[in-house]
Structure 1
Amino acid sequence: MTHKTDMNIFSQLESEVRSYVRSFPTVFTKAKGHKMWDESGKEYIDFFSGAGALNYGHNDPLMKEKLVEYILSDGITHSLDMATAPKAVFLEEFNNTILKPRDMNYKVMFPGPTGANTVESALKLARKVTGRTDIISFTNGFHGMTIGALSVTGNSFKRKGAGIPLTNTVTMPFDNFVSDELDTLEYLERFLDDGGSGVAIPAAIILETVQGEGGINAARYEWLRKVEDICRRWDILLIVDDVQAGVGRTGTFFSFEKAGIKPDIICLSKSISGYGTPFALTLIKPEYDIWAPGEHNGTFRGNNHAFVTATAALSYWKDGSLEQKIERQSERIFSFLNGLVEKYPELEGEVRGRGFMAGICSPKEGLAGEIAAEAFSRGLIMETAGPSDEVFKLFPALTISDEGLEEGLRILEASIESSVKPKELVTNA
């Protein structure tokens, strides 16, 4: 007999802070590729991908094979930052497969296993390099839940969770935050230029090229180039948080490649391990790698299982086939979403995003959440984003088949239709 888990166990014993289990109230037992299954055997198409931590889908066969082989050989699991063979192989492969072909020269730092870890290390290093204290971040940015990362995060609900004032940061308007007509960087630079503005020259500017949690807001490439130009002219370090938008999510390995910029520090986590195992990198231009040994550390910065799977994941980037697939399928995604906005004016929808990081924003209170809940009931997993959860977002695995993508889009449309069309009145006449 199949074991049936009592869902009450989670409300009885787990903290009230639990989140996704409320949106997806079932017990998952199996996952493969772009699909998940729960205890009852119900199949789901995954348009969530671990909030961007599973860009290659669940249980990728090559990564699984390499990881199981390594575990069975009694390979080192935990090593802090001691030298291990998997670390050496990963460093060499990452340099040869990702950095060198893009003419990028960076030192690789292992700051700890999460996105917040890499952001914290980037902020600390920028302050150490420049001797300045302030950081400029942008409206609706999200950079993590630890104190430093929260200080450059825009969401007021998450910021309040800190319980203390979040200081030494200045928030500026992201691209198109006010309107299409306002040049937000002219506004920013005016603050830097005017000694009476109250804004000191910062140590760094930190940004996401596409804001994930903030509402799938994609910055124009021209805007990104202007940010870089401001950083160069004012001797400010440019930090790109590519934790969610990187590793192919927006179409290229780094989300900023088509903008042609070269950040001083790059933050990577989530899908860099390839398999969903905890792993993070901070990429640092060599001239700024001025850490003293152990000045920033973490017990789990030597996750050798992640080194193994991350190295296997780099095989996807040996040629341009994955990028071509993402480009082709993303055109289908955006064409479909634009069609939905036109077909269902009740949405009052606006299509947002880039690549496999897409969504529709609806100003109707609660509608995006209602659509996501309806989709879950029909076998499609996706989440909402934005300060008021006004965007339902699509994060399919980059490796999803055309058939899987189409099935997910079909369920999405059915969910929208069910949510926006008037319900038939049922009487007992």
Structure 2
Amino acid sequence: MAYEHASAPANIFERRESRVRSYCRSFPAVFKSARGSELIAEDGTRYIDFLSGCSTLNYGHNHPELKQALLDYIGADGVAHGLDMHTRAKARFLNTFERLILKPRSMDHRVLFPGPTGANAVEAALKTARKVTGRTNVIAFTNGFHGMTLGALAATGNSGKRGGAGVPLTGVTHEAFDGYFGEDTDTADQLDRRLSDPSSGLDKPAAIIVETVQGEGGLNVASDAWLRKIEKIARKHGALFIIDDIQAGIGRTGGFFSFEKAGVTPDIITMAKSLSGLGLPFALTLIRPQHDLWKPGEHNGTFRGNNHAFVTATKALELFWADDAFEKETARKAARLRAGLEKIAASASFAGRLKGKGMMSGIEMESGDVAAEICTECFQNGLIIETSGSMDEVVKVLAPLTITDAELDAGLKILADAVRAVSARRQKSAA
């Protein structure tokens, strides 16, 4: 039977898959194919994708040139799995990454291949900082999300995620993110005050880890000035400065790195999600050379040599990052998105301020219930979109950066119609 004609057996997911599954509960369809900014279900329904694998598909589904590069490599019997052995695919990726990303930004970071996921990259970053400094405490921030393995989960704020650990999550102190107490409170100054006071009870940290835009935490944006202060605080107190760029990076909020315009130089950068370009598992931990103190094999992972991902990542760098055209086009689309969201936010009393930055933007609703109802309405009308925030109160747009204007406008129209429908139902219910 041809693969494209094979349908999913009835109830196989309910019967056999773990109850831990989540996204499929919000989007109850069986998807058979995907192209560009669309997902197509078995019944033929086409959905505009404003989720993009939580920013894993910045270049859209099955980009034809990335797909062809992988097909050519597989057809030539290219190495698929190689641990951390030298391969032609890895050499091409490293050369291209150095030429197009690191050198133009005057960066000299070493590339650590930690394993295929963002959590792997974060674990490697935390271990590196502790190894370099000899300290154990790490400072993370309120509403931060860094992964689901124990070290990364300890740095994550969400109580629902933390509750699944089954053991105490230690070694991390959570401090207030930028704007957590409102615009009149400088949380960077608060952190410096606590670290400078020997009686504050705050242990000197090995590292300070931060997202420039908190993807799962509600699209909270760290200002450039605040990020510069946090970097200075890390230097002042002997800690490494880590930026988790897993969701906000690779063009989602601006340049290849989300922090490029902030004027900071992180000691460590974690990357994953859209790094492979095609949705293949691939992560990096970038480390400044003076902090690369690892002994051979002291940190490793069986799938740190995903050569298929090296191939598609290299092609993505060549296609999208050889000049600034893609970055400029993404900025133009981001302005179009923000303008559309502003109109939607003004259309209903329960819709509040815009959140986020660039193509990582959304609307804060008055409650998680409202946001969930809007997303359900969207799905019923052909749009996949999710929520984020401490109460799931933010309707978040993570459309592919390659989305056309027509597709972006069509998705925004579905979202606008959903907001109007939910508003009308609530007004009728309140009458």
Question: What TM-score, normalized by structure 1, do the two folds share?
Answer: 0.97
C-alpha distance in 2 between matches for 1:361 and 1:71: 45
Please give the per-residue CA displacement for 1:41-86, whole angstroms capped at 9, x wherever unaligned.
1111000001111000000111111100000111110000000000
Residues of 2 paired with 1:178 and 1:61: CA distance? 46
- Provide the residue aligned with 2:367 in structure 1: 364
Q: CA–CA distance in 1 between the matches of 2:23 and 2:156?
A: 20
Aligned residue for 1:119?
A: 122
- What residue ranges of structure 1 are gaps of 5+ in the alignment? none
Counterpart pick for 1:334 among 300, 317, 338: 338
Q: Which amino acid aligns with 1:317?
A: W
1:311 aligns with 2:321: no
From 389, 393, 396, give the equivalent of 2:392.
Answer: 389
Give the whole-Å Cα distance in 1 for the aligned partners of 2:133 and 2:29: 49
2:194 equivalent to 1:191: yes
**Counterpart in 1 of 2:353?**
350
Paired residue for 1:411? 414
> C-alpha separation between the residues in 2 aligned to 1:132 and 1:419?
51
TM-score normalized with structure 2 length: 0.96
What corresponds to 2:27 in structure 1?
24
Separation in 2, partners of 1:242, 1:358: 16
Deviation at 1:328, TM superposition (A): 0.8
* Correspondence for 2:150: 147
Q: Does 1:108 align with 2:123?
A: no
Match of 2:297 in 1: 294
3-state SS of paired residue (2:326): helix
Whether contact under 8 Å (2:367, 2:392) holds in the other structure is no
**Alignment length, in residue pairs?**
425
SS in 1 for 2:167: coil
Q: Tell me how far apart the structure 1 counterparts of residues 191 and 240 of structure 2 sit (CA, whole Å).
A: 15
- Which residue type is aligned with residue 211 of structure 1? Q
Q: Does 1:422 align with 2:428?
A: no
Given that residues 279 and 306 in structure 1 are in contact (C-alpha distance below 8 angstroms), is that contact kept between their aligned partners in structure 2?
yes
Cα shift readout 1:131-176 (whole Å, capped 9, x = no counterpart): 0110000000000000000010000111111111111110000000
Distance, in Å, in 2 between the alignment partners of 1:260 and 1:15 is 45
The question of whether the paired residues in 2 share the 8 Å contact of 1:45 and 1:404 is answered with yes
Contact 1:273 1:309 in 2 (8 A): yes
Per-residue CA deviation, residues 80-115 of structure 1 (Å, 9 max, x unaligned), is 000000000000000000010111111001000000
8 Å CA contact 2:89, 2:311 repeated in 1: yes
SS in 2 for 1:313: helix
Q: 1:325 corresponds to which residue?
A: 329
Instruction: Confirm or deny: 8 A CA contact 2:154 2:169 kept in the other structure.
Output: yes
**Unpaired runs of 5+ in structure 2?**
none
Tell me, in whole angstroms, the C-alpha distance in 2 between the residues paired with 1:198 and 1:77: 50
* Structure 1 contact 59–275 (Cα < 8 Å) conserved: yes
**3-state SS in 2 of match to 1:104:** coil
Structure 1 vs Structure 2: percent identity of aligned residues?
54
Q: State the AA in 2 paired with 1:62.
A: E
Give the corresponding residue for 1:174: 177
Letter in 1 for 2:117: T
Runs of 4+ in 1 over 3 A off after TM superposition: 1-7, 422-426
| Deviation readout 1:212-235 (Å, 9 max, x if unpaired) | 011111111111111111112222
What's the counterpart of residue 91 of structure 1?
Answer: 94
CA–CA distance in structure 1, aligned partners of residues 6 and 292 of structure 2: 53
CA contact (8 A) 2:156 2:162 kept: yes
**C-alpha contact 2:124 2:299 (8 A) present in aligned 1:** yes
Q: 2:138 pairs with 135, 152, 167, which one?
A: 135
